[in-house]
A and B are shown apart, each in its own frame.
Chain A
Amino acid sequence: MLTVDKKDIIGPSQFVGLLTLSRIIPVTVGFPLLTATEKPQDAWVASLLGTLVSVPVVLAITGLSLRHPGRTVIQYSQDLLGPVFGKLIGLTLTAYWFMTAADVARALGEAFVEGAMPETPLVAFLIVACAAGAATARCGIEVIARMAEIVAYGAILLLLPIPLLAHDVVKFDNLRPFLAGGIAGLVRPASVAVAFFVQFMVAGMLVPHLNRPERAPAFAFYSVLVSGFVLVWVSAVLVMIFGSRASALFLPAYALGRVISIAQSVERVDVVILALLTVGSLLKIALFLWATAVALQQMLGLEEGRCLFYPLASLAVSLGVLAFKDYLEFVRFFIRSWPVYSLMLGTTVTGVLGLASLVRGRTIRRQGR
């Protein structure tokens, strides 16, 4: 069973870094929210709306962990719902995390094939990404969190000054008209944004490792704010630079790097962005492989979970390659089917566990009386 030893304790900043990084990776590769926005100038409003809606969702997800100190979501779902239904919930979450790891690997592979090395087969990148992710995950959550803290804040610092570096092609007017697609036009992109925030359910596995678990909802809230800010910022910057072409970009952050040109000497910053994107994606793969392995270990009652990382990584490679025929199918999945799946999963799991927790709490109080 999972034992939280001193080696596996993470600090608040690392916790925020981990969650933030996992949220900003889809902004740099693909950016489904922008693709889903009919009028790209509304993307920043949709990002803001999505972030605001995500706050209660994320607070509910992390708040549940406070009622079950020292227990992961996999463990307390069995405590609340019994072994069968509890494991069913656990299995659903595990599949979700595993799929997330495979999807991130696929997105990273596509980014490399299209952006840097077109002759290299996609599977080669997936193998390397998943193997590196598994190797990192084997080192434990503290190592992943330590790296994520540096990379997340590095990525933010890199993305923030882009409008200044590319000021000659920035056009503020591109953000107008405000709400060009109306309120109805925000529903789909905002739901995509919230769907990605549902990935914060992985916090249910992280809270027991947090050195101040009682503050987990506050830290998760900070993560939503920081990543929400990045989301709003990047979508606004993309539209200011590319206009309505922004929604056609395959690798938005990479494209931002390609427009920077200062005195013809500071150019091709895309390489730096690609490097950050790679390390960030590897850490996200590591985080979700770690969550999957620990969840499986707890559900199956295994003594040792480290043996699961490489088999899971190889399965993630297969899923990443086979799940989508081509990149367009991948994009369509993320703007059409996945938000529905992710939102349903998030609300159902949180709702069922929250309800069970309330009922159980009342029962215990009654029995106490």
Chain B
Amino acid sequence: MRRQTRALRFLGLFLAMVIAGVPGCWSRKEIDSLGFITIAGLDAYGDTGRILLTVHFAKPFAIATEQAARGAQEKPFWVVNVEGETMSSAVRELFLNAPRTPFWGHCRLILVGEELARRGIKDVVDWFDRNGRVGKRPNVAVVKGGTAAELLQGEFSLERMPVQGYTGLLESASLMLSRFRTSCLVELTRILEEEGMEPVLPAFDIVRVRSGSDDAGELVRTEITTTAKLAGFAVFRGDKLVGWLDEEESRFYHLIGGLFVEADYIDVPDPHYPGKVVSLQLTRSRGEVDPVVSGDRVSFRVRVWVRARVTGVQREFDPVKTPSDWSDLERAFEKEIEAQVAQVVSKAKSLNADIFGFGASLYRNAPQLWARLKDAWDDMFPVLAVEVEVDAALLRTGVVLRSIRER
């Protein structure tokens, strides 16, 4: 019996050694055999219905070398363009171009060209949503008036890796300005399926620093020819791009959605000096959309609550001495917000895109009524009655009470 046990133990040890010695296993992924994709750009390829996929592969050897530390000029990324009938077939084409297996786990940005966005993005989004290798958090953005392939030739002066430039731009703008907000894949897929809500995505403009040059194939960076700038929001109806919100409209879109970033600035026309403005810094804000239901009729109330401080005036301003000046400015501030909110609502109506989620708020508050109205929502939305209620107040004047008096 003891002999048998010893033999079994020996056999076990032998098998363990054999298994340990077997080189590799299924699904193995050696890090030096992977090509890390950092950005994916998607475009419509002509009128053929095909897709042009542009990706940035990170070049680890160009990032983490002594040369790189000294600011060497070799680009730390490689741009590859492939095309295919579908997103999957375009991805397969990458294997014919890239000597390393494309790895999507580090893809931080998905850029969609305007033409493809107008055709519809559901099919391409489905590939990213379905793929277990892609994270749920890459940012999604649209290229305004151009292609992703074109934009992805661009670089940023402050960042070696363009992906850091794009995401840094999106994140710092989202943090400091109310005009922008990052939109990641998980949010996009959620809104694409949400009742009574249309998606908006940040938009990039292509900025040509030096025209007439093509640095697509350059290995070494000589100078930056193309870069990117944030340019408002792309508005979708369903999965199709239908229009744009400029920077001001984007700001008030956020205010209605309760997403306004405190510390952003707004210029209000001076009530007493036409042509001059008073700069205000918004310190607190809230925004919400409520349906007002009476029988089968529905209207909406947009409520905005906002508080601000004065940060700049272009004339003599002494609210301690003349309190009416202060209350007049407050009223002007309220009117300005009301006008801007009404304008962005009418812009959304003109695009017939319910980006504020009026339908969603009706669904949440009166699901039975929504069930009856949802099929006719596309016809109802452009003529929807929307009342704007603004509660705006000024709280402070900065660290001085009055401006410099004229001698």
Contact = CB atoms under 8 A, between A and B. Distances in A.
B26 A180 contact: no
A118 B27 contact: yes
A117 B27 contact: yes
Interface string A226-263: 00000000000000011111000000000100110100
Interface in A154-196: 169, 171, 173-174, 176-177, 180
A258 B136 CA distance: 6
Contacts of A118: 27, 132
Interface residues of B, number: 24
B193 A245 contact: yes
Interface string B91-114: 000000000000001001000000
B365 interface: yes
A267 B190 CA distance: 20
Contacts of B364: 173, 176-177
Interface stretch (A1-9, A22-30, A119-127, A332-340): A119-127
B187 interface: yes
Nearest to B26: A120
Nearest to B129: A245
Contacts of B190: 171, 174, 241-245
B367 interface: yes
A15 B360 CA distance: 45
A182 to B, nearest CB: 10
Given A114-B132, A245-B189, A245-B190, A259 B365 contact: no
Interface in B18-42: 25-27
B186 A268 contact: no
A241 B186 contact: yes
Contacts of B186: 169, 241-242, 259
A173 to B, nearest CB: 6
B351 interface: no
Contacts of B363: 177
B269 interface: no
A177 B135 CA distance: 29
A261 B193 CA distance: 23
Given A241-B186, A242-B190, A243-B193, A268 B105 contact: yes
Interface residues of A, number: 28
A197 B360 CA distance: 35
B292 interface: no
A345 B195 CA distance: 40
A115 interface: yes
Given A118-B27, A121-B26, A180-B367, A259 B137 contact: yes
B135 A267 contact: yes
B194 A244 contact: yes
Contact of A258 (B135, B167, B191, B195): B135
Contacts of A264: 108, 167
Contacts of A173: 360, 364
B184 interface: yes
Contacts of A268: 105, 135
A120 B27 contact: yes
Contacts of A120: 25-27
B140 to A, nearest CB: 13
Contacts of A258: 135-137
A116 B27 CA distance: 9
Interface in B169-203: 184, 186-187, 189-191, 193-195
A115 B186 CA distance: 17
Nearest to A115: B132
A294 to B, nearest CB: 24
A172 to B, nearest CB: 11
A179 to B, nearest CB: 9
Interface in B115-144: 132, 135-137
Interface string B347-375: 00000000000001001110100000000
B208 to A, nearest CB: 29
Given A121-B26, A169-B186, A242-B186, A267 B137 contact: yes
A119 B26 contact: yes
B349 to A, nearest CB: 22
A119 B27 CA distance: 5
Nearest to B135: A258
B137 A261 contact: yes
Nearest to A41: B364
B191 to A, nearest CB: 8
Interface of B: 25-27, 105, 108, 132, 135-137, 167, 184, 186-187, 189-191, 193-195, 360, 363-365, 367
Given A114-B132, A119-B27, 5 more contacts: A117-B27, A119-B26, A169-B187, A177-B367, A245-B193
29 contacts: A116-B132, A117-B26, A117-B27, A118-B132, A119-B26, A120-B25, A120-B27, A121-B26, A124-B26, A169-B186, A169-B187, A177-B363, A177-B365, A177-B367, A180-B367, A241-B186, A242-B186, A242-B189, A243-B190, A244-B190, A244-B194, A245-B190, A255-B136, A258-B135, A259-B136, A259-B137, A261-B135, A261-B137, A267-B135
Name the 3 nearest CB pairs between A and B, nearest first.
A117-B27, A120-B26, A243-B190
